[in-house]
Amino acid sequence: MSVEPPISVSGLSVAYRLPEHHHSSVKELAIGAVRRQLHWRMLWALRDISFELAPGECLGIIGANGAGKSTLMRVLSRVLPPTHGRVVVRGRVAPMIELGAGFTPQLTGYENLVLYGALLGRDPRDMRRRAQAIAEWAGVSEFLEAPVRTYSQGMQARLAFSVATDTRPDILVIDEVLAVGDASFKRKCVERLAEITSQGTSSVLVSHQTTLLRNACQRLLWLDRGRIVACGETKPVLADYERSMETAAQAGRQIPAGTGSQSAAAG
Amino acid sequence: MAVPVYDSAQRGRRALAIGPNLWQQRRLVGLLLRRDLVSRYKRSLLGMWWTLLNPLLEMAVFFLVFSHIFRRATPGVPYVVYLLSGLVLINLFRQTVLGVATSMVNNGPILSRMYVPLELFAVSAAGVLLVNFLASLIPLLAFMLITGTALPATLPLVIIPGALIAFLGVGIGLALAPAAVLYPDVTDLLSVALLLAGYLVPVFYPISIVPVKYRLFEQLNPLYSFLESFRGLLYGGSFHPASAYAVMLGTAAAAMTVGSFVFSRFGRRMVVLL
């Protein structure tokens, strides 16, 4: 294993460049272009983010809704390009973002399993060989020939999780996927993640479950409105985060901007 | 196996990487093609038969309306063969442009959640329509046999204008795919434009009914060359007109060049909007 960090992010900013609402159609765009009134609204989802992931480390990402967590996950899994800054990812990434969302409802579980694996970069022939084992872990082996539209949300999530973790990836990018499914499935997932991590896989994990974060992550990265509030050891960052959330809840408003710099200094 | 490295700072060579990329990913493209075919027909009553039936139904409508007027206006070939051959080819073009242009929108859930080269979905969409085209040659041949039209030796070569018009369609579709993500009505406008494009060339009417002063205008449309050469090979038994081949190659190559450039430059940026 190389000593190079599996993920290094420097000065990352991501903007959603949205067309102004007053020309959301081509006709209006054409009129706007003629009048030279093309307006783009730059919505900054992430601003100047820098961090490194150490080999074998699990980094948790926390923050309120709209903090930019999912955007960060999508940049790390190559789906979104950075607007500014640089992202280097070394190794095979297994992205787990809304598990099962890539399934085709009309296809059978088996066909989806093979396709999903292939989309994640696996050889379809390997997927066919592994299909039975993957389905068994997900608990859907009796339904492999049924179309996925007949599957429950939980079954789809289990199948997708099973495909994504069938071979050990170098890096796991997990966006809240452990929030779906019942308790026993969650336990199974956490066990499998622990097993994979113990073999050297690094991971980035978005979650709102503090117990999971406390148990799985060595460090936490706290985002607020696209900026890093704090990055450091799990315990102190989580304590600061929870305190600020409580304050915000009591005040019944957004987290004050001032909290950020204070806890960054503390962390 | 080498560790794959993704460095966001390395960009710019993607347009050139499309070819080798496709070969590397041929198995995935095969699966996508299968998915597109299956999901298109699996839950329908007639399944794959739709492919054969669609052009026939469209032909029936035109035939009912125009057969009396144009019966004698297509010398050397029954009107029904003239009509169906035009429809089959122009539909390949229309559907390929539309299928490729909407390939990003249609695969939004996948593209916004995992990294897959965007062009694979465009290729798969185009592949489905090429399969459709080949299938629709069956009823076309059947009508030629029924009407006693001679099948010339050049007939199998119809695949040349077929493939070239598919490339033209893919190129135009690629150029429009990012815009179709940005503005939903691009797809609607495109449908109308493609319908009109089909009426501007002699698909269901013979060129002889067009007033002489407008004929040059029709013939300057590249689609005219595709239709002429397709019909020439299909029932004319000739490579006439030779100039059509230059036009076909030129427009297909130009469309592919512009399309790949636009797609590789703007495609990935549009993923945020999916």
Strands A93-97 and A171-175: parallel
ipTM surpasses cut 0.90: no
- For B166, the token pair is 């598919």
Contact residues on chain B for A125, CB-CB shorter than 8 A:
27
Instruction: State phi, psi for B63 to the nearest 5 degrees.
Output: -65, -45
How sure is the predictor about B41, in pLDDT bands with cuts at 50, 70 and 90? confident
CA distance B135 to chain A (A): 23
What pLDDT, on a 0 to 100 scale, did the predictor assign at position B261? 93
pLDDT digits (tens, 9 = 90+) for A155-190: 998 999 999 999 889 999 998 877 766 788 888 888
What pLDDT, on a 0 to 100 scale, did the predictor assign at position A148? 93
Testing the interface with B: which of A9, A20, A24, A26 to mutate, by most B Cβ within 10 A? Answer: A26
Whole-number average pLDDT of chain B: 89
Q: Which residue has the higher pLDDT, B140 or A263?
A: B140
What is the CB neighbour count within 10 angstroms for residue A229? Answer: 25
CA distance A162 to chain B (A): 16
pLDDT digits (tens, 9 = 90+) for A207-248: 888 888 998 899 999 999 999 999 999 999 999 999 998 888
As a whole number of angstroms, the distance between CA B188 and CA B98 comes to 10
Contact residues on chain B for A19, CB-CB shorter than 8 A:
182-183
Contact residues on chain B for A92, CB-CB shorter than 8 A:
3-4
**What's the whole-number mean pLDDT along residues A88-93?**
92
| Subunit contact B183:A86, Cβ cutoff 8 A | no
Model confidence at B195: pLDDT above 50: yes
Q: What percent of chain B has pLDDT over 70?
A: 93
Tell me which DSSP letter residue A120 carries: T
Strands A171-175 and A202-206: parallel
Exposure of A94 by Cβ count < 10 A (0-12 exposed, 13-18 middle, 19+ buried)?
buried
CA-based diameter of chain B, in Å?
68
Of A19, A102, A123, the CB nearest to B27: A123
Q: What percent of chain A has pLDDT over 70?
A: 84
Q: Which residue do the tokens 């099962």 mark?
A: A100
Domain boundaries, chain B: 39-273
| Subunit contact B3:A170, Cβ cutoff 8 A | yes
Model confidence at A145: pLDDT above 90: yes
Q: Does A50 touch chain B (CB under 8 A)?
A: no
Q: Would the CA dihedral through B143, B148, B149, B150 be positive or negative?
A: positive
pLDDT digits (tens, 9 = 90+) for B109-163: 999 988 899 999 999 999 999 998 998 999 999 999 999 999 999 999 999 999 9
As a whole number of angstroms, the distance between CA A118 and CA A169 comes to 14
CA atoms within 13 A of residue A70's CA, in its CB half-sphere: 13
How sure is the predictor about A263, in pLDDT bands with cuts at 50, 70 and 90? very low
| Subunit contact A81:B109, Cβ cutoff 8 A | no
**What's the whole-number mean pLDDT along residues B154-179?**
97
Yes or no: say if B234 and B85 are a contact pair by the CB < 8 Å rule.
yes
What is the CB neighbour count within 10 angstroms for residue A217? Answer: 23
Of A26, A75, A88, the CB nearest to B7: A88
Among B70, B94, B91, B93, smallest CA distance to B82 is for: B70
How sure is the predictor about B17, in pLDDT bands with cuts at 50, 70 and 90? low
Contact residues on chain B for A50, CB-CB shorter than 8 A:
none
| Subunit contact A87:B115, Cβ cutoff 8 A | no
**What's the whole-number mean pLDDT along residues B236-263?**
94
H-helix or E-strand containing B172?
Answer: helix B159-182
